Amino acid sequence: ADRYDAPTREKHWQQAWELKSLFEASEDDQRPKYYVLEMFPYPSGRIHMGHVRNYTMGDVVARYMRARGHNVLHPMGWDAFGLPAENAAIERGVHPAKWTYDNIATMRGQLKSMGLSLDWSRELATCDVEYYHQQQKLFLDMLAAGLVDRKTRKVNWDPVDKTVLANEQVIDGRGWRSGALVEQREQPEWVFKITDYAEDLLDALQDLDRWPEKVRLMQANWIGRSEGLIVRFETIEGTAPEDFATIEVFTTRPDTLFGAAFLAIAPDHKLARAIASTDRDSQAFIDECHHHGTSAAELETLEKKGFDTGVRVAHPVIEGAELPVYIANFILMEYGTGAIFGCPAHDQRDLEFARAYDRPVTPVVLPPGEDPSTFEIGEEAYTGDGVMINSDFLDGLAMADAKIAMADRLAARTSDGAPQGVRKTEFRLRDWGISRQRYWGCPIPMIHCETCGIVPVPADDLPVKLPDDVSFDVPGNPLDHHPTWKTVACPNCGGIARRETDTMDTFVDSSWYFARFCSPRASVPTDTNAVGYWLPIDQYIGGVEHAILHLLYSRFFTRAMHKTGHVTIDEPFRGLFTQGMVTHETYKDADGKWLLPEEVTLRDGKAVQVKTGAPVTVGAVESMSKSKKNVVDPDNIIGAYGADTARWFMLSDTPPERDIEWTAGGVEGAHRFLQRVWRLVGEAADKGAAPGTPAPVESGTEAEALRRAAHKAVAGVTGAIEKLRFNTAVARSTSWPTRSRLRCRASAKQSEDDLKFAMREAAQLLARIAAPMVPHLAEECWALLGNEGLVAEQPWPEADSALLTEDTVTIAVQVNGKRRDELTIARDASKEDIEAAALGLENVTRAIGGRKIKKVVIVPQRIVNVVA
Ligand code: ANZ
Ligand code: ZN
């Protein structure tokens, strides 16, 4: 055949691997272990190009490390609980389980067609009872260890869908599905006490030196450590309700205290509640505040509004000065003390508030180069560094020193026996609320009894299984309106009790699946030996969109599992790599409707619709998304060109952390290149030496040059894969096919055998170094070359270091001072050898044209001039 029929041959090789169970891993103390994992997919229906990119990268690492002699674990599973399954149930009447498992079947087939070196025997889905049963055990262990809490928290409530919404599901104050105005509700929920580990999760980031700096920074910001001060303000007698002799605020800027213009408390602050209980206007204001979402980002952009409570406090360091206390919509109850002092000159929110409520704006930090007598604050607060002004004993101090001086002063002063200022470290990180009022999730194994309170389900009664017979006809949580599921005997008193109907956030499922992969069928969450052997993960690969939540939750969960005796490590991911996205041009027709790439073609350099020839507007290159239709189905690509083409394209040209643009031309190019490799290897198989022929190659020959190119490719690819520079690996492995043109220019000097040997060796090496990237084609080439066994079973080749150092030089050859050709020859070649080689060149003979050679001038390593 003159074409490599990838789609057919790929199936053949996939079967060959499967037949030998090549990728099934088991613990083996004789070999170093290597655990490589890509973030497991959500079974949404079909795999997309983002998956192809992610899993190809992981597969290169897995296959490479296996060849390097490691015992590799490379598993795959499904992040299978979640809302879309319930939406499918609501919209199409399919049961979430059926929808999910059907999708898994489709996607498993698609992943298999990619030829990934996965251990499918370890496959798991988080919606398998077998999996969530173990998760319920972990929950109970965490409960016993004091890591679970029940807290009342403010949530976004959709009154139509009767469900809690995440902040991202609130769009312009309305539910994303129902469009109903969202209400804020207080609701008890189960939380994991991730804040117990805030400090540790932050500090340990320093040791994660194989993580992208960017991700560590994002996590650090998310955890958000703030060193500050709690300042106690005394209320002026007669202005505040009883029990409110002081108000505590948290500040990171005690240096600005002389610029304080007001106090503001959160609408849910207990002082606000106390006031509202007797004052209808304040209650109305608080109600109004509850119509916003609960996110900090939303509060940031809000028009700043307040309600003057009439309460007044004494300024702690300005004798006789009083400050008003407002309830304000931009103060969060969940941070610090839920109360602040506002310094309008140096905080933008405070400034906007002060302008609206006519409070003074007194600058206390002077920016460098400003004149204290003329400096004024306009539309923008000054948040930078500077020297203190208008601040009594702080005047003239640098900001940082002023912070310390004020903190010391307040710490030393007492009111009613307590210091007026206490240093405090705050974290932005909140405890992790895991309750979801949904059906398709892991049931929280708790029972509500009227007599005994809330009691855990006894471990022996696990699993708490999801009922199959559920209805999605009524809004709300199907578990809640199931006729019998909820009713259960109290494990404590035996009375009639009610099951917890909340299920766990799906982020819980993905916080330990990597540990479960070590012993996926164990009757305990983790098998000690297995996790001891495999964990931590050596290389984790996934999208940067998970840089914060998933990775942080997993880091916490690993600590929790450590505390409860399920693992012995704290950090689950030793190496992390975040790959870029896959992008594509966008297309629209004349009516502004999005078009699929396959509906568009180029005619005379213009984009037109395939069917009608109507013009198409080509839009921006954006990450592939169904909504803009700029998607290419991996199945179509694999069906037409084979998986190796898709893999090769995904790895080539673009650095792996950057976005890669998918183009039809690029795919064609990748395909043509792979066909060419196959043809060249075929030729090498025909014309090259038989397997096992030893042949020391003479130096200075074309054969040697070919050997050098091949060994350089080995070294280059090795180094590139080690550093996860996949695009470089691709570039380096292509050098041989380019170089192999040399075979046609076999010089007189080299023996036929040398060339044969070099050709074969180069082809062999190419098959081996290309195997991690294009494993099927590599097998095909390996077989073409007459080798036994599979390339997937071969060790990684070593480059011959003698061939890596450059010991040839290229020198120009002139005839009568005119450049006619060049010569590649050993660096230490004798003058006689150089002369002979130069005179043997065809171009040189022609230029001499039968004239008599008067003299040959040779400057070794530089130039040859033939004087005729
Ligand atoms: C006075 C002040 C003056 C402040 C100034 C800032 C600038 P980070 O760095 O994020 O920790 N704050 C405290 N608790 C708050 C709450 N519950 N809701 C909204 N804002 C709150 O931010 C700390 C600063 O955020 C604190 O320092 C406080 O305002 C405000 F020129 O105190 B500052
Ligand atoms: Zn009871």
Mean pLDDT, the chain, whole residue set:
92
Indicate whether residue 250 lines ligand 1 (CB < 6 A).
yes
Q: Which residue(s) pair with 453 in the sheet?
A: 449
Radius of gyration, CA atoms only, the chain: 35
pLDDT computed for residue 289 by the predictor: 87
Q: What is the ipTM of this complex?
A: 0.97
- pLDDT of 45 strictly over 60: yes
C-beta separation of 479 from 440 below 8 A: no
Conformational region of residue 25, where left means phi above 0, alpha means psi within -120 to 50, and beta covers everything else: beta
Say what the pTM is: 0.88
- pLDDT of 696 strictly over 70: no
Atom of ligand 1 nearest to the CA of 334: 17
Q: Which residues contact 226 (CB under 8 A, 6 or more apart)?
A: 252, 425, 426, 427, 428
Sequence-ordered strand ranges (E) for 351-471: 365-366, 387-388, 414-415, 418-419, 421-427, 432-433, 435-436, 446-449, 453-456
- CA-angle at 477, arms to 471 and 481, nearest 5°: 60
pLDDT computed for residue 743 by the predictor: 46
Mean pLDDT of 75-92: 94
Output the CA 332–ligand 1 centroid distance in Å.
Answer: 10
**520 residue type, one letter:** P
Atom of ligand 1 nearest to the CA of 330: 19
Q: Are strands 539-543 and 33-38 parallel, antiparallel or unpaired?
A: parallel
Residue 237's φ and ψ, nearest 5 degrees, are -50, 135
- pLDDT of 742 strictly over 50: no
Other beta carbons within 10 angstroms of residue 83's beta carbon come to 18
Output the CA 252–ligand 1 centroid distance in Å.
Answer: 6
pLDDT computed for residue 115 by the predictor: 98
| Residue 626 is assigned to a ligand binding site | yes
pLDDT computed for residue 149 by the predictor: 97
Q: For residues 100 and 401, what is the distance between their CA atoms, to the nearest angstrom?
A: 60
pLDDT computed for residue 294 by the predictor: 60
Spell out the SS3 assignment of 128-185: CHHHHHHHHHHHHHHHHCCCEEEEEEEEEEECCCCEEECHHHEECCEECCCCCECEEE
Q: For residues 330 and 349, what is the distance between their CA atoms, to the nearest angstrom?
A: 8
Mean pLDDT of 520-539: 98
pLDDT computed for residue 198 by the predictor: 97
Mean pLDDT of 536-540: 98
Q: For residues 719 and 732, what is the distance between their CA atoms, to the nearest angstrom?
A: 10
Query: Between the CA atoms of 527, 530, 536 and 538, what dihedral angle is there, to the nearest 10 degrees?
Result: -150
Q: For residues 741 and 748, what is the distance between their CA atoms, to the nearest angstrom?
A: 16
**pLDDT per position as a tens digit, 478-524:** 999 999 999 999 999 999 999 999 999 999 999 999 999 999 999 99
- Reading the block at residue 126, the tokens are 């988080």
Spell out the SS3 assignment of 239-274: CCCCCCCEEEEEECCHHHHHHCCEEEECCCCHHHHH
**pLDDT per position as a tens digit, 630-681:** 999 999 999 999 999 999 999 998 999 999 999 999 999 999 999 999 998 9
Residue 585's φ and ψ, nearest 5 degrees, are -60, 155
Mutate to test the pocket of ligand 1, among 233, 250, 377 (most ligand atoms within 8 A of CB): 250
Indicate whether residue 335 lines ligand 1 (CB < 6 A).
yes
Residue 735 C-beta-side C-alpha neighbours within 13 Å: 20
> Which one, of 765, 764, 641, 746, lies nearest residue 703 by Cα?
746
- pLDDT of 776 strictly over 90: yes
**Atom 32 (ligand 1): residue with closest C-alpha?**
251
Q: Are strands 435-436 and 148-158 parallel, antiparallel or unpaired?
A: unpaired
- pLDDT of 55 strictly over 70: yes
- Reading the block at residue 245, the tokens are 């002799």
Place of tokens 């297995």: 530
Indicate whether residue 386 lines ligand 1 (CB < 6 A).
no
> Which one, of 746, 637, 605, 636, lies nearest residue 687 by Cα?
746
- pLDDT of 109 strictly over 90: yes
pLDDT computed for residue 744 by the predictor: 41
Residue 171 C-beta-side C-alpha neighbours within 13 Å: 6
- pLDDT of 838 strictly over 60: yes
- pLDDT of 618 strictly over 70: yes
Mean pLDDT of 420-431: 94
Q: Which residues contact 397 (CB under 8 A, 6 or more apart)?
A: 387, 388, 405
pLDDT computed for residue 291 by the predictor: 76
> Which one, of 23, 28, 27, lies nearest residue 13 by Cα?
23
- pLDDT of 748 strictly over 50: no
Q: Which residues contact 50 (CB under 8 A, 6 or more apart)?
A: 543, 581, 582, 624
Mean pLDDT of 381-408: 97
pLDDT computed for residue 746 by the predictor: 44
Please tell me which residue, 157 or 171, carries the higher pLDDT value: 157
**pLDDT per position as a tens digit, 571-607:** 999 999 999 999 999 999 999 999 999 999 999 889 9
Helix or strand or coil: residue 59? helix
Q: For residues 551 and 215, what is the distance between their CA atoms, to the nearest angstrom?
A: 9
Query: Between the CA atoms of 544, 545, 546 and 548, what dihedral angle is there, to the nearest 10 degrees?
Result: 90
Helix or strand or coil: residue 323? strand
**Atom 2 (ligand 1): residue with closest C-alpha?**
253
Please tell me which residue, 688 or 178, carries the higher pLDDT value: 178
**Atom 31 (ligand 1): residue with closest C-alpha?**
346
> Which one, of 142, 233, 237, lies nearest residue 196 by Cα?
142
pLDDT computed for residue 831 by the predictor: 86
Q: Which residues contact 662 (CB under 8 A, 6 or more apart)?
A: 49, 582, 583, 584, 624, 632, 649
Mutate to test the pocket of ligand 1, among 223, 252, 403 (most ligand atoms within 8 A of CB): 252
Q: Which residue(s) pair with 622 in the sheet?
A: 584
Q: For residues 739 and 741, what is the distance between their CA atoms, to the nearest angstrom?
A: 5
**pLDDT per position as a tens digit, 253-270:** 999 999 999 999 999 999
Mean pLDDT of 683-694: 75
